[in-house]
Structure 1
């Protein structure tokens, strides 16, 4: 909490658990709708289902890969209770318009900062601008404790609600004796001492880790920016990227590819791998295309969508063209920018990427 600038923080056994605590703390429940970006990790949306509420997807902005803030307001209905913003790949969402919209409509703002440790928007760290937020500390994260997460907030009432969910529906804090009485629905989202201690030790090194990644990203960008057909990740003015993922997109139009985009992308990824560039397709499906949403099979019997308190929600995939284009044309370097890899490794990665991109005729 001190490092990030939050008043309260509760350690959890995963980032997914912390997200569920956010949804519960914000009072989302049966029939309520929560706005979510159409492209993210599945937990950004399934955490809404976990509390019997309904995700409503909004397309993304192609440049930032985050939720398109200009499309949020059109998705708001009388059932909307909260907005989940996902600071994807370590770049924060443009929070000022989101907060303005939320205040206008009386909505809570949940920050999914699971990939955004240390990222900033206009000098504010991820997890400090919404009503509450969630972090993840699993094996891939910039702050890694093997597994684990964190719920953060400045609101004492949200903290109390989240803590009830955190420990079996009990209301006792860790410093109080337990009466083993269940006051509300609860789960077991507590962390354990071993992973918490490991994470605390890693926290003392986090600023150094992030500085290392930023230097690597800057070097990689400088060595890739002149390659035709390659779209590099952006860092807009006023933002501080933590470079959790370094995402490449392929400009299929300039490459003369107008169909089966994902198939051609996969061929490029295969060639990059052969050159020693460890890239991967981070998500092969946009969220609303996943079976749980298309079949609406969350709890069986159509719940929560069939709840008598709910309104019909449409997951027509034509509503999310930007998310789909991004999904079909991207690959990313997930771990390559991490220590101990340095400038020498970044130069080798750039050489491999350049070699593939200048010889695409050999993989068509």
Structure 2
């Protein structure tokens, strides 16, 4: 269609974000500083948690979460961590990189999140944690998952990188686990260019995160930290290291933009949900397509589409048609991750059959959702899908 283009994501920056960047440039203070602290404070307040630690990406937030749980002694080498078979690569990499064992469990065909029944059956004496993923904005069934964790004495970790602003029974996703992670990458619910955040209510874990984020040094720890007693000599504490950390600090520019973007998040989520009301209703009326079943209040990162009935096995044709009509398309995250060649490097186990993950891998894709109301363009996409 002439002049029609439907991109994966939209640009949500305005004049205020540019002014925030210029303010940082004028200050000549570019690395992690006061703007980062302000953004972290506002982020924690917004989501109702005690502590937030900003890093340079959502992937780094996952790395920070796993590193923190290992260095604090809550997880140890060889412990089994249950994960859903469908997610982004950097949900899994930190688990492998810290010598933990991945156990992959199938997803629910409708919600696209971990299959709770399979999850419960997959638990063994070696299982120490569950790393759930709120896929494409959709909350997990947290009542049941929290109950399982309590009964079995398991740690709950939450990858919420695709689901900022989603809620389950009035509580924000990303705040159900011991640590939750968020992403502020360009295409996500708020954009700081690159960026991520890890949140927790546990002060000790928070202090570990402060150290691990910046080289494993003590400089950023408060004087009353429970994980390390600082020397009186400030010079000594400038380059003093207590854990093998990383350099995953954010830039002040990213934090400054984040402060402005966070103020807009409510309207962004409102608009995404309005777009979803239209799109999901129309897709559910069509015979050969299905989409994600919402649990709680999804923040609708994008619109997953699963081909069924007469269109099963015909994804290449559908994707080609959509591209011909200037509609950007992506796989449903990484599909069944165990089918990627990188899996050969990892210590992992597959529980049962990954039937639904396989089906999504071969018959699923998603188109973007936007932070502005976009019903008119979605009408065009629905008509294109109808006419294929």
Normalization by structure 1: what TM-score?
0.85
SS at match of 1:34: strand
Q: Among 180, 183, 189, which residue is 1:133 paired with?
A: 180
Tell me if structure 2 keeps the 8 A contact 1:277–1:353. Answer: no
2:126 to 71, 79, 90: 79
Paired position in structure 2 for 1:200: 259
Identify the structure with bigger relative contact order (alpha carbons < 8 Å, sequence gap 6+).
2
Deviation at 1:255, TM superposition (A): 0.9
CA–CA separation in structure 1 for the residues paired with 2:49 and 2:175: 6
Aligned match of 1:308: none
Give CA-to-partner distance per residue, 1:234-270, whole Å, 9 cap, x none: 224xx0011101111111xx2175xxx2xx2111111
* Deviation of the 1:233 alpha carbon: 2.2
**Residue 48 of structure 2 corresponds to residue 15 of structure 1:** no
Structure 2 counterparts to residues 265-280 of structure 1, below 5 A: 265-280=315-330
Corresponding residue for residue 374 of structure 2: 342
Task: Name the structure 1 match of 2:274.
Answer: 215
| Corresponding residue pairs, total | 329
Deviations 1:100-125 (A, max 9, x none): 11112211101100011110111110
- Distance (Å, rounded) in 2 between the aligned partners of 1:20 and 1:226: 41
Report the RMSD for the aligned CA atoms in angstroms. 1.9
The structural deviation recorded for 1:275 is 3.0
Structure 2 stretches lacking a partner, 5+ long: 1-43, 224-233
Q: 2:336 maps to what in 1?
A: 286
The Cα shift of 1:174 comes to: 6.4
Cα deviation digits, residues 199-229 of structure 1 (max 9, x gap): 1111111111111111111112233332211
Does the 8 A contact of 1:246 with 1:332 survive in 2?
A: yes
| Separation of aligned partners in 1, 2:303 and 2:380 | 15
Secondary structure of 1:2 counterpart: helix
Q: 1:250-265 maps to which residues of 2 (within 5 A)?
A: 250-251=307-308, 254-255=309-310, 257=312, 261=313, 264-265=314-315
Provide Cα deviations, 1:77-111, integer angstroms capped at 9, x if missing partner.
33222110100000011011111111122111011
What's 1:320 paired with? Answer: 354
Measured in 2, the distance between the counterparts of 1:25 and 1:73 equals: 25
How far apart in 1 are the matches of 2:97 and 2:203? 23
Q: Which residue of 1 aligns with 2:5?
A: none
1:291 offset after TM fit, Å? Answer: 2.1
Specify every segment of 5 or more residues in structure 1 that has no aligned partner in the other structure, as ranges.
299-304, 306-312, 357-364
SS class of match (1:319): coil
Cα distance in structure 2, aligned partners of 1:51 and 1:12: 19
* Corresponding position of 1:248: 305
2:45 and 2:294 map into 1 onto residues whose CA distance is: 26
* C-alpha displacement of 1:272: 2.1
Find the counterpart in structure 2 of residue 187 from structure 1. 246
1:340/1:267 Cα in 2 relative to 1: closer, same or farther (>3 Å)?
same
Normalised by the length of structure 2, the TM-score is 0.80
1:64-75 → structure 2 map (5 Å cutoff): 64-75=111-122
- Asked whether the equivalents of residues 148 and 195 of structure 1 are also in contact (C-alpha less than 8 Å), the reply is yes
Q: Tell me which moved more, 224-233 or 85-94.
A: 224-233
**Residue 104 of structure 2 corresponds to residue 60 of structure 1:** no
Within 5 Å, give how 1:75-224 maps onto structure 2. Answer: 75-173=122-220, 178-224=237-283
The structure-2 alpha-carbon separation of the partners of 1:256 and 1:2, relative to structure 1 and needing over 3 Å to count, comes to closer
